[in-house]
Structure formats: C-alpha cells, structure tokens
Amino acid sequence: MTDPLRIDIISDVMCPWCIIGYRQLAKALAASGTAHEIHWHPFELNPQMPPEGQNTREHIIEKYGSTPEQSEQSRRQMAALGENLGFTFAWTDASRMHNTFNTHQLLHWAETQGRKHDLKMALFTAHFTDQRNLSDDAVLADIAAEIGLDRDEALAVLDDQRFANDVRNAERFWQQQGISGVPAVVFNRKHLVTGAQGEENYASILSQLAQMKD
C-alpha cells in the first residue's frame, strides 16, 4: 500500500489560471488513477484591494499594463480553456475583483469541517461563473450554506476574525518558500510547479513522480 501523492496548491479564488490549472491537474489525476490528497493554501493576489473591490478590466489594465484588446483576447482564451474543462467563465463589463482575506478565513474554517475543497470549488464558481460579490460577508456565508455548512457560524467566523492570524501565518509561510505567484503546486512537499501547465504536462509530471517511487 503506497501513500497517496500529497499535492499542496497555493491559490486565490480571484485567479482564473488557478481553477484552469486545478481542472487540468484533476483530469490528469483521474486519467492516471493516481491516489492523491489535495491541500489548499491561501495567497492574496491583491492584499491591498479595498473592500469595495475594483472593476476587473480596469484592474488588469492598471496592474499589468494590458490594453482593452489584450484583456478581451485573454478572456476569450481563458473562457475557451474553461469550456474544455467543464468550467464556465462569464465575465461582463461590470465584473469585479475582490479582496479575499475573509474568503481565505472562511476556507480555513471549512477545513475544520472537512469541506475546504468543496467550498473552494463553490467560490471559484460563485466568482467567475455567477459574478457574486465575494467582498460581501453575507454572500460568503450564503455560499457556505449552499454546500451544507452552518450559515450563522460562517458569519460569526467572519465577524470575529478568529482565523485571521492563521491565514496570515499560512500566507507568510508560502511567501518564505519563494511563492510569489499562483497557481503554485507542490508535489510531495518538494517538487514545485508554477502556472497552469496543461493536462499533458501534468500527466507527464505524475508519470515522473510515479517512476521516482518505483
């Protein structure tokens, strides 16, 4: 009986390449039949983002110097990749980026309930597909409730900020490991792969890791 492959994924639910990369990895894992366990970790793409957030296109142009045309082309590319992976990106001109510190606190709490992965997937869908406001604690609590978690407890977690230090410490830990962008995937605590690699590359990585165990 071999131990499952440990996969640590550092990501932010504001990051489209994080859900694309995860879906690509998940397909490679399913195709290879690799026994695995996934651990999600926090990263804030925009820790200085104000509570009201910012228009996504304005933010991308401001942060990366993209032209509106480049931004639109990038959206089309990601939407096509998402469609092939069974995930819908539904950006509009009104789409917004949000501060995700509370989102990461809610995910930390969900882990204590054994539901972190489920909440992570629900948050990606809420943001990219349904265009919900993840800056709003009531919306975050609604999403938690929709996957079967206690809504009142979710609100209490966000209200009293009980996991703020845990999230900050986790973010700091991964920054100290040299993680400065996401998605970042660490296999068996020692093999770092950055960016969305594509199903074929992930399959190759999984094959190499399996050979190393033989």
pLDDT class of 162 with cuts at 50, 70, 90: very high
Query: What is the pLDDT, as a whole number, of residue 202?
Result: 98
**Strand pairing partners for 184?**
10, 194
Q: What is the mean pLDDT of the chain?
A: 95
- Name the CATH superfamily housing domain 5-45+99-213: Glutaredoxin (3.40.30.10)
Query: What is the pLDDT, as a whole number, of residue 214?
Result: 61
Domain ranges of the chain: 5-45+99-213
Beta strand spans in 134-214 (E): 184-187, 191-194
pTM for the model: 0.96
* Distance (Å) of CA 135 to CA 8, 120, 194: 26, 15, 27
Which helix H or strand E contains 208, and what residues bound it?
Answer: helix 199-213
